[in-house]
């Protein structure tokens, strides 16, 4: 697999507003965060706090009609002012995205190997279809798939939920992005598989220097891989701190309530 160019994400005073019949909904309200190369930032918050909107806006996909303010910079590139063509090159090549539901990333009608090959070709990472095909098993293996050749020949419905999630991760990693954004990537998985997928993220970060932005409502995810946690509420980041600090001595009352309400609570 080719080397990951280090990326640094910097989000400043981001606002995302959706006009609705009932008036404007401000899904993200002046949020700032940064993720350094090789760092994992867990974006933690309840349902509706604006986590997914923030993540999608970083990817240039805030949704129809959204008004976006503030700045999103990827190693100096201002993503909010990029045209659609340049943005779609950034997506996949510099930023990998793992959605909550792997079926949203995978085409049900095509074999997994063909889908990975297609991403490599689209971003001109592989010189030829043949070269692309040769790298597929390695990519699947990096994503923790034990039988890469069989999985490459399979259609998504022939795989388990965990394997599909890993295949989606392989797709996101195909072009060696420096930043990986994962939105609730383990919610649909059982505890054992969830732990393994989180360990895989941790390895990508430490072994390959990938920056990781992980969106979740589950504090156990933060415990397992987080370096730092940013707590989001009603579109704002109310506290950002190293995981241990947040779990033991949260400062913001909402962060404290969130930690106390989780299984295992304050330690």
C-beta of 44 vs 142, nearer to ligand ATP: 44
Residues 10-39 that bind ligand ATP (CB under 6 A): 18, 20, 25, 27
**Interaction between residue 49 and ligand ATP (CB under 6 A):** yes
Number of helices followed by number of strands (H, E) in the chain:
11, 10
Pairing of strands 179-183, 95-98: parallel
135 touches 142 (CB < 8 A) = no
Q: Is 102 exposed, middle or buried (0-12, 13-18, 19+ CB in 10 A)?
A: buried
**Interaction between residue 217 and ligand ATP (CB under 6 A):** yes
**Interaction between residue 186 and ligand ATP (CB under 6 A):** no
Q: How far is CA 243 from CA 43, 79, 84, 227, 233, in A?
A: 11, 28, 36, 6, 17
From 6-14, 46-54, 153-161, 200-208, span contacting ligand ATP (CB under 6 A): 46-54
**Interaction between residue 117 and ligand ATP (CB under 6 A):** no
DSSP class of residue 200 equals H
C-beta of 76 vs 263, nearer to ligand ATP: 263
From 50-58, 118-126, 196-204, 253-261, span contacting ligand ATP (CB under 6 A): 50-58
Q: Under DSSP, is residue 263 helix (H, G, I), strand (E, B) or coil?
A: coil
Query: To the nearest whole angstrom, how small is the minimum distance from the Cβ of residue 54 to ligand ATP?
Result: 7
DSSP class of residue 80 equals G
From 47-55, 69-77, 222-230, 250-258, span contacting ligand ATP (CB under 6 A): 47-55
106 touches 113 (CB < 8 A) = no
Contacting residue, 11, 31, 50, 174, with ligand ATP by CB under 6 A: 50
Alpha-carbon distance 163 to 76, whole Å? 35
Q: Where are the beta strands (DSSP E) in the chain?
A: 9-20, 23-35, 40-45, 67-74, 77-78, 95-98, 179-183, 211-216, 228-233, 236-242
**Interaction between residue 224 and ligand ATP (CB under 6 A):** no
**Interaction between residue 53 and ligand ATP (CB under 6 A):** yes
The number of residues that bind ligand ATP (CB under 6 A) is 14
Contacting residue, 33, 35, 39, 51, with ligand ATP by CB under 6 A: 51
**Interaction between residue 231 and ligand ATP (CB under 6 A):** no
* Chain residues that interact with ligand ATP, rule: CB under 6 A: 18, 20, 25, 27, 45, 47-53, 63, 217
């Amino acid at each position: 697999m080719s080397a990951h160019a280090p990326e640094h994400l910097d989000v400043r005073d981001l606002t995302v507003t959706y006009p609705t019949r009932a008036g404007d909904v401000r899904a993200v309200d002046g949020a700032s965060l940064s993720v350094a190369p090789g760092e994992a930032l867990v974006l933690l918050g309840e349902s509706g706090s604006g986590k997914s909107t923030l993540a999608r806006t970083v990817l240039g996909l805030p949704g129809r009609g959204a008004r976006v303010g503030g700045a999103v910079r990827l190693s100096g590139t201002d993503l909010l002012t990029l045209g659609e063509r340049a943005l779609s090159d950034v997506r996949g090549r510099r930023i990998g995205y793992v959605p909550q539901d792997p079926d949203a990333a995978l085409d049900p009608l095509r074999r997994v190997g063909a889908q990975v090959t297609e991403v490599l070709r689209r971003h001109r990472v592989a010189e030829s279809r043949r070269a692309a095909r040769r790298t597929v098993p390695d990519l699947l293996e990096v994503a923790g798939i034990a039988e890469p050749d069989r999985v490459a020949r399979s259609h998504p419905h022939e795989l388990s939920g965990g394997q599909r999630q890993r295949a989606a991760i392989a797709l996101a990693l195909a072009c060696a992005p420096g930043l990986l954004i994962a939105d609730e990537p383990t919610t649909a998985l059982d505890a054992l598989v969830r732990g393994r997928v989180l360990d895989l993220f941790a390895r990508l970060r430490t072994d390959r220097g990938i920056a990781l932005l992980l969106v979740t409502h589950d504090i156990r995810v933060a415990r397992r891989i987080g370096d730092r946690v940013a707590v989001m509420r009603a579109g704002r980041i109310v506290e950002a701190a190293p995981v241990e600090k947040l779990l033991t001595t949260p400062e913001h009352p909402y962060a404290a309530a969130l930690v106390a309400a989780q299984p295992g609570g304050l330690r």
